[in-house]
Amino acid sequence: MSSTKPGSFPRALATLASGALFGFGLSYAGMIRPEVVLSFLRFQDWGLMLVMGGAVLVVLLAYQLAPRLMARPVLDNHFHPHPSRWNRDTALGAALFGVGWGLCGVCPGPAIAGLGTGNWDLLWALGGIGLGALAQGLRAR
């Protein structure tokens, strides 16, 4: 009945395993192939809706149920909520994100996961995303 926070190694291992499940799912669903994403955005294959819908469904259950059923997460003292805000930056950022996504068919998760599939072309997108994030931070106050 200790309330001390578990060590950082189990937490890191849990984070790695969670990421691995996420990355396996992205790959299995074909989301690491820009062509599949672009065929969705061109209304040729609606698969991405199933990927998104399936993921949202599971996450919705976990986010709603876990804080009700558990006093705290298994390896930490409390849940970390992350409220999103709607303002000019969110609107403009989302619009620009969509333009980029529609142009290349790669979003941040698949850009990272794609490295595990030997698709070195995706390094170009990963580099672009890194530079874009850097530019955003340098322009922000």
The H or E element that residue 60 is part of is: helix 47-69
Residue 18 touching other proteins (CB under 8 A): yes
Smallest distance, Å, CB 1 to other proteins?
A: 19
Contact status, residue 125 vs residue 106, Cβ threshold 8 Å: yes
84 counts as binding other proteins under rule CB under 8 A: yes
Chain residues 28-47 in contact with other proteins, contact rule CB under 8 A: 28-36, 38, 41-47
Beta carbon nearer to other proteins, 4 or 90: 90
60 touching other proteins, by CB under 8 A = yes
Q: Does residue number 3 form part of the binding site for other proteins (CB under 8 A)?
A: no
Tokens of 111: 């850009």
**Residue 5 contacts other proteins per CB under 8 A:** no
Query: How far are the Cα atoms of 13, 90, 96 from residue 27, in angstroms, in the given order?
Result: 21, 28, 25
Q: What is the CA radius of gyration of the chain?
A: 18
How many other C-beta atoms can be found within 10 angstroms of the C-beta atom of residue 141? 2
Interaction between residue 9 and other proteins (CB under 8 A): no
Distance CA 24, CA 47 (A): 17
Q: Is 74 in the site for other proteins (CB under 8 A)?
A: yes
Which of 1, 4, 7, 66 binds other proteins (CB under 8 A)? It is 66
